[in-house]
């Protein structure tokens, strides 16, 4: 069964990089949201396996931590893992203090370490046929 990732607050190119990495490596699809309101609306309508939130939202540059706080304040979403997308370790630490799981940075989207981070939520990564020969 295909998994669903909600990616909140990334610009088009970054969203597409995340979407492509998820699609290529997992039986999962990714949908884009732009802030707390549309993210929460989507969470109420669909089963979501993972939420990624950009540190600074593309649409208005507000802090992604505010989106995380709003999601975490709703008990029905407690079981959905949330990751902060940032290259800065101190922001990852702050997000984990709010109840997030360790996220990844945009510079590491295609790293093996990022795929390993996603596996607990999206299932085992697909084996690249080029690597299996």
Domain ranges of the chain: 3-122
pLDDT at 127: 77
The alpha helices in 27-63, defined as continuous H runs, are 36-45
Looking at domain 3-122, does it have CATH number 3.40.50.2300? yes
pLDDT at 43: 98
Total H helices, total E strands in the chain: 5, 5
Instruction: Please give the average pLDDT of every successive group of 10 residues along the chain, which has 133 residues.
Output: 95 97 97 98 98 97 96 96 97 97 97 96 78 42
Distance set, CA 48 to CA 42, 52, 80, 94, 122 (Å): 9, 11, 7, 23, 10
d(CA 107, CA 59): 21
Residue 89 three-state SS: helix
């Amino acid at each position: 069964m295909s998994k669903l990732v909600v990616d909140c607050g990334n610009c088009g190119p970054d969203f597409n990089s995340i979407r492509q990495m998820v699609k290529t490596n997992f039986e999962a699809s990714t949908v884009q949201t732009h802030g707390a309101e549309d993210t929460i609306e989507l969470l109420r309508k669909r089963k979501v396996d993972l939420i990624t939130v950009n540190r600074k939202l593309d649409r208005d540059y507000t802090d992604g931590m505010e989106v995380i706080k709003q999601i975490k304040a709703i008990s029905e979403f407690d079981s959905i893992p949330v990751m902060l997308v940032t290259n800065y370790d101190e922001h990852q630490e702050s997000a984990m203090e709010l109840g997030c799981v360790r996220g990844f940075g945009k510079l590491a989207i295609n790293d093996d370490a990022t795929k390993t981070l996603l596996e607990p939520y999206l299932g085992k990564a697909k084996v690249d046929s080029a690597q299996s020969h």
